Structure 1
Amino acid sequence: MTRALRVLLIDDSPAERLLAEEAFALTDELLCTLTTAPSGLEALTRFQGPNAALPDVILLDINMPGMSGFEVLATLKADPKLRVVPVVMFSTSPAPEDVTQAYTLHASAYLLKSPEFHTFLEQIETFILFWSRTHLPYRPTPA
């Protein structure tokens, strides 16, 4: 059996992080652990050091003070150790220029946050199921 999928959510909004934590907790039958970071800088700091545990996938908000999600994404993709970690932009912005910029910077996907909790929960469940079944660099596959 494989270990739990490790997801890192980077979002400056305490309310959005709490909402995501609640949604992930409601999917407890799915094998997944969620950690959060309130800023891109804090998340990037966690990855320092040769033995730093990397997440299997990152959910990344765009609009954050200090370092935007796009700046975090560019930094991740410029680092040889971190560039293989899939990054899913997780935003309320449907702006075509945001979607284009995310993919230009090599985001793995762009997911619009639903304002409805039920739909948001479905998004999280689908996200976990998809990434749990995907072969990832830092996640062992079943024997």
Structure 2
Amino acid sequence: MRPFHILLVDDSVADLELAREAFESHRTSLTLHTFEGGLGALSFLETLEVGELPDVIVLDINMPRMSGFDVLRILKADARWGSIPVVMLSTSSGHQDVTRAYSLHASSYLVKASSFPAFLKQIDQFLAYWMSNRLPSWPVA
């Protein structure tokens, strides 16, 4: 089975750096691609063959130019990417944001932990769940 691939999109350079650090302890079992905006992430996806698609996409909600909701809408409308699980990652736990994410077919909604140690634990739990629930034939099947 190939390494687990994650595509992470967040406009905050500081948050991306924290995420890279959080995923660092798992670097032998996964590949992490990060982008500061939706346009870059979508352009990257355009370059990938079916067997190279990410196992899960993690999207921040509040980004300039193209929000996480905008990116989610595009992903789910495209036959090439519509079956990729998308996890919305946000500091917002607002009912309206959660409802909107699920109405656009997000696979999960994760509220960012407020401390780095809690965020590390959150990432460990996230990876344990998504890695254990990946189809062995994904993304080729």
TM-score by length of 2: 0.91
- Cα 1:111–1:50 shift into 2, 3 Å: closer
Answer 1 or 2: higher relative contact order, Cα 8 Å, separation at least 6: 1
**Which string of whole-angstrom CA distances, capped at 9 and with x for unpartnered residues, describes residues 77-126 of structure 1?**
00001000000000000110000000000000000001111110001011
Query: Helix, strand or coil for the counterpart of 1:80?
Result: coil
Mean Cα deviation higher: 73-82 or 44-53 = 44-53
Identity of aligned residues (%): 49
Q: What residue number does 1:40 align with?
A: 38
Structure 1 position 47, deviation (Å): 1.5
1:14 aligns with 2:9: no
Listed as ranges, the gaps of 5+ residues in structure 1 are none
1:71 aligns with 2:70: yes
Give how far 1:40 is off. Answer: 0.4
Aligned counterparts of 2:21 and 2:69: Cα–Cα separation in 1: 26
Figure out how many residues of one structure are paired with residues of the other and give that number.
138
Q: Would you tell me which structure has more helix in proportion to its own residues?
A: 2
Q: After TM superposition, give the deviation of residue 50 of structure 1 in Å.
A: 6.5
Instruction: For 1:55 and 1:6, locate their aligned partners in 2 and report how far apart those are by CA, in whole Å.
Output: 5
String of CA shifts for 1:17-53, please: whole Å, max 9, x gaps: 0000000013346x22211011001100112157263
Compute the displacement of 1:68 (Å).
0.3
Following TM superposition, the consecutive aligned residue runs of length 4 or more in structure 1 with deviations greater than 6 angstroms are: none
TM-score, L = length of structure 1: 0.90
3-state SS of 1:8 partner: strand
CA RMSD across the alignment:
1.7
Q: Describe the shift of the 1:139–1:23 C-alpha distance in structure 2 as closer, same or farther (beyond 3 A).
A: farther
